[in-house]
Chains A and B, each alone.
Chain A
């Protein structure tokens, strides 16, 4: 497909955004979401280091009931998923969708109220996880009153975005809008299943609903909203038109159909019907279709533009994110195969895999979005380009160190478990060196978070640079 033919009104963000006055957009909601999400990224990053340290020094903070691993892990997971990543994604959607529609956000007031409610939810999540008010479901730990508030906040977010899309000036909806609308719709049902429908089931039935939610929290919340961001910012940041509309369609619509079937692959070899495991395996392997369609589209968009990777920090984050997305979504289908699963399931391989998805792919996309958007909506220059570059390399080296160490360690652990002659405790002791490397990789990643957060917050308050008025269109 010829790349020129893909430029059409409303479809490609590159030329469109420059056409009208940026001052059309107020962006208050986007600012509030971004500033709070980046703050949580930093705070929860400290919690992440604490729990990584507990693997190496199990006595650390061990006598404080509220700071044990069992309390801090749900704080880490919920804080990173909902406090940082989803909030940053929502903030970026509040920025991107009005621009792709050529109109103002439907209601800035509703957006500000959503941001306030979201912050209340996250603070509630911090308190309840530390206090041990835990529902006992992974990713759905938060107590019922917070679940209800999440639903309300999601309806507020969805209404705002849908009304903006309904009022759009450009008739054709760009891929980013598909993924954003898909996220809003699917998340609603996935969240209701995991947090409310599961109440009416027990045992394996409940587990099945729980895994449908857990898996699709990644597959139908963070994947589509992350791809929404990548589809907007990769062409935008590299100033290159998207390669293929047809591939975008294949990627999106196959994702819509395939992802939801795969929940039971969390129970392979476990006490759940074998035929359901087989269905989950078949559809897990089919996930290669939406993933490879999307990844090929991004790589082809970059054809002839790779030299830009030298000094374009958002592009570095985006394209490394695409590589991590490709890898993590190759691992996923492979893990679901019974033979591979018998080795890696329940081992330290799995957090290596999960972090590559949520940090390596989707957080990298969100970070790129923040680096691009924050200087524009605050109309200031980025505080420091070299600090931004530092943050990329800290994230990349720390991240790769973390992922690779846990894969190797987890694979080794799985082999040991499959030999019952090795006492379990020996398989724990054997992993100590792995956990030490993981901790120090985590320190590097936290360095990435700290430099990123400092750079963005310093840009917001305008310290260090003269606040040059920056026209977004000049980029």
Chain B
């Protein structure tokens, strides 16, 4: 049947595009229509239905911090997804409490999305509330001062730029906090 495509360029083009668009449309346009949770912000006040909480839109300062995170390419080494793996929920956990897995409704306000593909450093999907501002300042100045063996680059130009630093920390503290799974202001030392 497709032998005709050897000789006829218009037939070839039509066949190549039709075959491509079957999968193309079914995997890009259709899924968000079928799965509504991709676009509905997380909001649950009923403990019977699982972990409670509400996803808030980013503030202007948090967005500024997010822009720094994007500009510096933090997302090349840090993923933002607690996967459906036991080890992920434990690694993202806090004082023996397993972190809830990441769900689509937690990321509705994210653009660009920052799920990431590579974990050269630890996952950050539940890092909000884990370290205080002082820790982050020392860590950005030189990560190896706090974490010997770390290969993260130092970012003195962020630690020394009060506006950018505050914004970035404000953004980091939001990560994973839509789900009410841990108390506020209980930082690791």
Contact = CB atoms under 8 A, between A and B. Distances in A.
Given A55-B151, A258-B23, A203 B7 contact: no
Contacts of B48: none
Contact of A204 (B7, B16, B73, B107): B107
B28 A208 contact: yes
Interface stretch (B109-117, B129-137, B165-173, B181-189): B109-117
Interface stretch (A15-23, A308-316, A417-425): A417-425
Contacts of B116: 346
B156 A260 contact: no
Contact of B38 (A172, A185, A203, A429): A203
Contact of B70 (A54, A134, A350): A134
A263 B26 CA distance: 12
Nearest to B55: A203
Interface residues of A, number: 81
B54 interface: no
Given A193-B28, A202-B113, A419 B70 contact: no
A308 B55 CA distance: 64
Contacts of B23: 257-261, 283
Given A165-B9, A203-B113, A418 B85 contact: yes
Contacts of A462: none
Interface in B1-58: 2-3, 5-7, 9, 12-13, 15-17, 19-24, 26-28, 31-32, 34-35, 37-39
Nearest to B25: A260
B112 A206 contact: yes
A68 B20 contact: no
B147 A425 contact: yes
A69 B77 contact: yes
Interface in A399-427: 417-420, 424-426
A267 B81 CA distance: 9
A132 interface: yes
Contact of B7 (A137, A173, A201): A173
A120 interface: no
Interface residues of B, number: 78
A62 interface: yes
Interface stretch (A70-78, A146-154, A389-397): A70-78
Contacts of B2: 249, 253
Nearest to A171: B7
A189 B24 contact: yes
Interface in B58-77: 70-77
A54 B144 CA distance: 14
Contact of B20 (A137, A171, A185, A425): A185
Interface string A122-133: 000000000011
A267 B32 CA distance: 15
B106 A271 contact: yes
Contacts of B155: 68
Nearest to A170: B7
Contacts of B31: 205, 208, 273, 276
Contact of B109 (A54, A202, A342): A202
27 contacts: A54-B151, A62-B153, A73-B76, A134-B71, A135-B70, A136-B75, A165-B9, A171-B7, A173-B9, A181-B13, A182-B16, A186-B20, A193-B28, A202-B110, A204-B107, A204-B113, A205-B38, A208-B27, A260-B23, A263-B27, A264-B27, A271-B102, A346-B79, A350-B118, A417-B119, A420-B87, A428-B150
